[in-house]
Amino acid sequence: MASASSPRHVLVTGSSRGIGQAIAAAFVAAGDKVTVHGRSRESAERGMRAIGAAGFVVADITDEADLMKALGEAAEARGPIDVLVNNAGGVETAPLSRLGVDQLRRMMALNVEPVLTAIRAVVPAMKAKGGGRIVTVASTAGLKGYGYVGAYTAAKHAAVGLTRALALELASAGITVNAVCPGYTDTDLMDGSLDKLEEKTGRSREEILKDFTKVNPLGRLIRPDEVADCVVWLAGNGAGAITGQAISVAGGEI
């Protein structure tokens, strides 16, 4: 938790909506200085205002130089980043017959490479301050297999592997590195997926939603605030001995 005298600087990538915005909002509620990140100025500024964050940055996370510039701007404006949450990412679907190397490369560029770029950017200042917290929002697809999202699943497994490796390297510097792996979550992206499947298949929304939730023993979608609570805990003092973990927030699916 942040103290009233010295709130931490928290940067959450992909925080203009969905899980990222819920995470950013939870840190604001905890009293931290939060920088919102979005792909466009409009989305980032809207996200900042929605939760009362301290500021925002804009970057294409697949552009290493652009992301590094944005992280530098955030640190210059609000001080070194104490907590980095790598949330931004995305998914593409394809059966094996249409799954090519190009899609695999896109998924790696979107879900893994920015994680490494952002961590490399913030670690020097964290080391200088004697510690820090890094949390990557992966997915249950980083812990198990799913059909028709082979490239995405491979990328999320890579993100979890990177988390585990860097946790070992950075532990002696007081920096913890963990991953949170949500199951199917109730966001606007999920709503969009349900809309497309409803239109494409002609099935009812209720039927399609049952397919998504049947793997979850709770029988429902995960709430964004449930993911956010886990991230905030990992960034807190009580989780100082927790590192190199990939924690499933999936209602017992894993």
pLDDT in tens, 14-36: 999 999 999 999 999 999 999 99
- Decide if 222 contacts 228 (C-beta within 8 A): no
- Decide if 82 contacts 176 (C-beta within 8 A): no
- Decide if 142 contacts 160 (C-beta within 8 A): yes
CA separation for the pair 240, 40 (Å, rounded)? 34
Fold of 9-183+223-249: Rossmann fold (3.40.50)
Q: What is the largest CA-CA distance in the chain?
A: 57
How many other C-beta atoms are found inside a 10 Å radius of the C-beta of residue 88? Answer: 25
Residues 6+ apart with CB under 8 A from 132: 81, 82, 83, 84, 122, 123, 125, 126, 174, 175, 176
The token pair that represents 171 in the structure block: 């532990």
> What was the pLDDT predicted at 191?
87
- State the pTM of this model: 0.95
Per-residue pLDDT of the chain (254 residues; tens, 9 = 90+): 444 458 999 999 999 999 999 999 999 999 999 999 999 999 999 999 999 999 999 999 999 999 999 999 999 999 999 999 999 999 999 999 999 999 999 999 999 999 999 999 999 999 999 999 999 999 999 999 999 999 999 999 999 999 999 999 999 999 999 999 999 999 988 888 888 888 889 999 999 999 989 999 999 999 999 999 999 999 999 999 999 999 999 999 99
Which residues are part of the catalytic machinery? 152
pLDDT in tens, 148-177: 999 999 999 999 999 999 999 999 999 999
Q: Where are the domains of the chain?
A: 9-183+223-249, 186-221
Phi and psi torsions of 74, nearest 5°: -65, -45
Calculate the CA dihedral of residues 163, 141, 99, 93 and round it to 10 degrees.
Answer: -120
The three-class DSSP label of residue 64 is helix
- Where would I find the H helices in the chain? 18-29, 41-51, 64-78, 101-111, 113-129, 150-170, 188-201, 205-213, 224-234
